[in-house]
Amino acid sequence: MNGSDVTGGHLVSLIEGAIDRKRFHEQHWEGSFWDYLSIVERNPGVCRNAFQRLYDMVMSYGSERYRLFKKDLVRYHFFSDPLDHGLDGIFGLDEQLMTLVDVFRSAAEGYGTDRRILLLHGPVGSSKSTIARLLKKGIEAYSRTEPGALYSYVWMLDAGAGPSEKSHEFVCPMHEDPLLLVPAEARAALLAKLNEAYATRGGRGKLRFYGDVNPFCRKVLNDLMVHYGGDWKQAMTHVKVRRISLSEKDRIGIGTFQPKDEKNQDSTELTGDINYRKIAQYGSDSDPRAFNFDGELCIANRGVCEFIEVLKLDVAFLYDLLGASQERVIKPKKFAQTSIDEVIIGHTNEPEYKKLQSNDLMEAFRDRTIKIDVPYNIRLDDEIKIYQKDFGTHRIKQMHIAPHTLEVAAMWAVLTRLQEPKKAGVTLLQKLKLYNGKSIQGLTEDSVKELKEEAPREGMEGISPRYIQDKISNTLVSAQAMEEKQINPFMVMNELEAGLSHHSLINDEDTKKRYREMLSVVMGEYEDIIKGEVQRAISADEEAIRRLCSNYIDNVRAYTQKERVKNRYTGKDEEPDERLMRSIEEKIDIPESRKNDFRQEIMNYIGALALDGKKFEYNTNARLYRALELKLFEDQRDTIKLKNLVSSVIDDQTQQKIDVIKKRMIEQFGYNDRSAADVLNYVASIFARGDQKGD
């Protein structure tokens, strides 16, 4: 045996090891009609309708409740896309997804929403298609699990689909539940029995049958009943039941319909068409055996049918949707109305929906739709997650993405989607931070609620995530990025601004001007962020900050207890160092009038920790820790001579200190050597210009 054979054998075993044969056999189970009745008796849930199955699928992944801005919300884990490790994960739309799942629940209970078209409405790039894709992917995977199992049947007949033999298989073209073959007069008693068992197992709503079998199966069943003189049990011996797995690729239970040119499309694509090759065999174009029940609404039976840009469809198609939603029937050419059981989901954008609203002739369609708004993200952290999914370190290996690069792009995107606050004294940037859960002095949760209520359409306009993704991609392949092997916020912001000139969806110059102004706001915020990081890197000497904290606490204790404090160097008792205490307190905006209260709060805090057996450390109190950092930065900045960075000559002592700062920035904030040097140089240039904002 040569080496290639050994390698090949190893690869074969590797492939075989990944195949679960037991699961394959379970998913391809076959049996008689009577075997299926035994399955139904044990587990009535196998004959749930499409909405019940879809709702149970979503709930099977679990959920969590949380409270945001005095509102109870639910996060459904399914929409994080556990199937593909977050590939199609949706962020920041928990409230809208709650509305969608509530519709599924109502439909599963049979409260009427199961007779509606679900219309996802929102701006381009707001994840409408992703939601539909997730649902199709989820129901497909669910059908392969034991809780999501469902069954259909094939007829065993002669070559001409007649009753004389059982030599040829004819698959039910619409993958219907075998229980639809039960005579109408026996269904009520059967359903009563099944629903009793279904309720005890915690089933949602009631099991129901929709209409009758499709025209092909109806003819076959009628022919068999005639052949056996009305003996239904004998007719059922021609039925073989199979477990089916829903599959968009195999066109079983999942359909997708997309508008095309009017000349190349007609409504038969929804309801099926005549098979002209079989007319000669069966003698008539109205014989169901000469008809292909393969339209999207036919093959999507028992699952989900997605309509891409549904309002771009020709009116003839929308007429088909009226019956498909309200009456759950379709009308194939030359045949009686045919029952269907499926979830119909369409999506559309703002201009198309406005056109629908202004069209009085489409009143019936509007009445049969449930509109669910899908806006853009207006929470910064959720917007960042969208870009981390595509450009995070787990995907971009060869290029360093400097800290805050994705953050500034996301910040700008969210700012363009927010409406100017009417509340006095609140800026757009503050509004962004409030929505992101940050506390701002003087503003409460009620303030956030007011801001949201005054802007009900917030998120329905603005920059699309696709634009941001495109510009980040452009930056990654730019000549500068390829040379430096990194991208930074400045490069991305330049690309975002340059792209506005030829943005295909923004024709209004005033809007472009406003968006450019928002880039300046983001730049200012970014400068504050990196100045804060440089400050923390400079003042990250733990021993120095611990000494400063200890000195401050000794003086505060003496001050609050009206005592003197011992000078550590001279050993003499002195008055508390008011200048030291104020220099620290001023860093966090403690006014002179509140210094006594603040100092007493600190001592009370230390006392409370001591009662709990805990020790006060320099970083225990977040506000004091920030004040100590800023004070230490102020003390050390001049000794490090940060401004000298912009000069061409740096002495060895300063260079050593700068190298220590760079190392801290790399370890603490995720920079590499080059991006840390760039930020230090930029912050140094700010100080060199005399810009003391935020110091």
pLDDT in tens, 420-435: 998 878 899 999 999 9
Residue 38: what pLDDT? Answer: 96
Residue 492: what pLDDT? Answer: 96
Query: Quick one: tokens of 367?
Result: 């009445």
What are the domain boundaries of the chain? 150-182+207-343+360-369
Report the alpha-carbon distance of residue 585 to residue 582 in Å, rounded. Answer: 5
| Highest mean pLDDT (candidates 241-245, 312-316, 387-391) | 241-245
Residue 649 pLDDT grade (very low, low, confident, very high; cuts 50, 70, 90):
low
Dump pLDDT digits (tens) for 111-143: 999 999 999 999 999 999 999 999 999 999 999
Over range 198-205, report the average pLDDT.
Answer: 86
Residue 692: what pLDDT? Answer: 46
Over range 144-155, report the average pLDDT.
Answer: 96
Residue 695: what pLDDT? Answer: 42
Q: Which helix (H) or strand (E) holds 273?
A: strand 273-274
| Highest mean pLDDT (candidates 257-271, 557-571, 604-618) | 604-618
Report the alpha-carbon distance of residue 74 to residue 66 in Å, rounded. Answer: 6
Dump pLDDT digits (tens) for 437-464: 888 877 777 888 888 889 988 999 999 9
Average pLDDT, the chain: 89
Residue 642 pLDDT grade (very low, low, confident, very high; cuts 50, 70, 90):
low
Three-state secondary structure string covering 141-169: HHCCCCCCCEEEEEEEECCCCCCCCCCEE
Percent pLDDT > 70 in the chain is: 94
Dump pLDDT digits (tens) for 62-97: 999 998 877 899 999 999 999 999 889 999 999 999
Predicted TM-score of the model (pTM) = 0.85
Residue 638: what pLDDT? Answer: 58
Over range 648-672, report the average pLDDT.
Answer: 81
User: Which residues, 6+ apart, have CB-to-CB distance to 503 below 8 Å?
Assistant: 467, 512
Report the alpha-carbon distance of residue 221 to residue 215 in Å, rounded. Answer: 10
Three-state secondary structure string covering 494-545: HHHHHHHCCCCCCCCHHHHHHHHHHHHHHHHHHHHHHHHHHHHHHCCCHHHH
DSSP 184: H
Q: Are 564 and 558 in contact (CB under 8 A)?
A: yes
Report the alpha-carbon distance of residue 147 to residue 142 in Å, rounded. Answer: 8
Report the alpha-carbon distance of residue 505 to residue 525 in Å, rounded. Answer: 27
Dump pLDDT digits (tens) for 623-633: 888 888 888 87
Asked whether the predicted pLDDT for residue 622 surpasses 70, the reply is: yes
Q: Which helix (H) or strand (E) holds 121?
A: strand 117-121
Q: Are 266 and 240 in contact (CB under 8 A)?
A: no
Mean pLDDT lowest among 495-504, 539-548, 573-582, 682-691: 682-691
Residue 691: what pLDDT? Answer: 44
- Cα 20 to Cα 17, 27, 243: the distances in Å are 8, 11, 17
Instruction: Name the residue among 445, 453, 440, 375 with its Cα closest to residue 414.
Output: 375
Residue 352: what pLDDT? Answer: 87
Instruction: Report which residue type is found at 156.
Output: M
Residue 4: what pLDDT? Answer: 46
Mean pLDDT lowest among 181-185, 330-334, 568-572: 568-572
Asked whether the predicted pLDDT for residue 328 surpasses 60, the reply is: yes
Over range 195-199, report the average pLDDT.
Answer: 92
Residue 688: what pLDDT? Answer: 66
How many DSSP H helices and E strands does the chain contain?
29, 19
Three-state DSSP state, 65: strand
Residue 644: what pLDDT? Answer: 53
Over range 335-339, report the average pLDDT.
Answer: 91
Dump pLDDT digits (tens) for 13-68: 877 777 878 888 888 999 999 999 999 999 999 999 999 999 999 999 999 999 88
- CATH T-level topology, domain 150-182+207-343+360-369: Rossmann fold (3.40.50)
Asked whether the predicted pLDDT for residue 694 surpasses 50, the reply is: no
Query: Quick one: tokens of 213?
Result: 């079998």
Residue 322: what pLDDT? Answer: 87
Dump pLDDT digits (tens) for 393-424: 777 888 999 999 999 999 999 999 999 998 87
| Highest mean pLDDT (candidates 293-297, 439-443, 616-620) | 293-297
369 forms bridges with which residues in the sheet?
117
Asked whether the predicted pLDDT for residue 566 surpasses 70, the reply is: yes
Residue 8: what pLDDT? Answer: 64
Report the alpha-carbon distance of residue 322 to residue 365 in Å, rounded. Answer: 6
Residue 260 pLDDT grade (very low, low, confident, very high; cuts 50, 70, 90):
confident
Q: Which helix (H) or strand (E) holds 401?
A: strand 400-401
